[in-house]
Amino acid sequence: MILKWTHIEFGGGATSGPVKTLSGRPYPVFFQNPLGIFVLEDSWIYGSVDDPFRILGGKIAVLRNTFEKAGYQGGEAMNAKAGTIGDFAYNLCVGIATNGPKLSNSGVIAGVPGSNVRMYNNTIINCGYRRLAAGRGGSINFEEGAAGMAYNNLIVNCRFGLRITSDADVQNVKYNNQYYYGSSAGIVGQFLAADGIAKFQSGDIYSATAKDNDPQFYGYDLNRFDFVANPGPITVSKQPPYLVTVGAANFRLQAASKGLGKGNTNFTQDSGAKEITVLP
């Protein structure tokens, strides 16, 4: 399945009559083939009741996409389960109910390799505030036997930072060079999820003070929303459009940003799906 230069909007709404949703949990994009290949590139997914993108196994290349305003009271930009292998990179995730990408190895299938996804060079902003469950939701999540990498991700004003649970394939989760920014002390105090085992690494950029180390976006006011008065969960009705959508914002980094030139480049894309991305 290959989706390129595609807009997918308002998927996953309630249905009636003879058409029924999958267990009451519809996803705008759903892929279920542990032996298949899934490519999502240069596309835009806006609005969904739950996960905009649910994948149950396969080799993936999810590159240079925008995920906006996904999930009502829960939902990840990408929710990947057992046997998912590949790359989630150069994506923009804004206003997601829970995380940007989440990876687990639940539902493992005999003879299929375990989940292992490289998550790098993503911008994840204003995510996690509609997730009702305590301690959940925010940016990047590895759990339930999942392995992979997390490098060079810009995590800005998210409810929680990197979360690696103790039941993930911890020995095979590699991570470094994240850039964390928080507009409130509450956000700064949760750059690393309290119920996870992730630690700050040598290449990380972070601080102990609110509003320090501004990443310096070209066109976005990080302090326009009051994260002190609204620490989360925040209902959809209380989240203004500029918090959960791109709108007129420009999330490129200015030349003086501390995030430029600080990434790890000692790895290569190797999703197993890349050989088909040259097709027209």
Q: Tell me the Cα Rg of the chain.
A: 18
d(CA 56, CA 242): 32
Q: Which amino acid type is present at position 25?
A: R
Cα dist. 62→18, 34, 163 in Å?
33, 16, 20
CB of 78 closer than 8 Å to CB of 43: no
d(CA 185, CA 17): 49
- pTM, rounded to two decimals: 0.91
pLDDT above 90 for 99: yes
The pairing of beta strand 44-48 with beta strand 29-31: unpaired
User: 102 pairs with which residues across the strands?
Assistant: 79, 141
- Give the mean pLDDT of 146-158: 96
pLDDT tens readout for residues 230-271 = 988 898 888 999 999 999 999 999 999 999 988 888 876 655
Contacts of 121 (CB under 8 A, 6+ apart): 89, 90, 151, 152, 153, 263
Q: Running DSSP on this structure, what letter comes out for residue 68?
A: E
CB of 152 closer than 8 Å to CB of 264: yes
The pairing of beta strand 217-219 with beta strand 250-253: antiparallel
Phi and psi at 276, nearest 5°, equal: -105, 0
Sign for the pseudo-dihedral over CA of 133, 135, 136, 142: negative
Number of H helices, E strands in the chain: 2, 22
pLDDT tens readout for residues 30-79 = 998 989 999 999 999 998 888 988 999 999 999 999 999 998 888 999 99
CB of 156 closer than 8 Å to CB of 126: yes
Average pLDDT, the chain: 88
Scored b (16 or more CB within 10 A) or e, 170-197 reads: beebebbbbbbbbbbeebbebbbbeebe
pLDDT above 90 for 96: yes
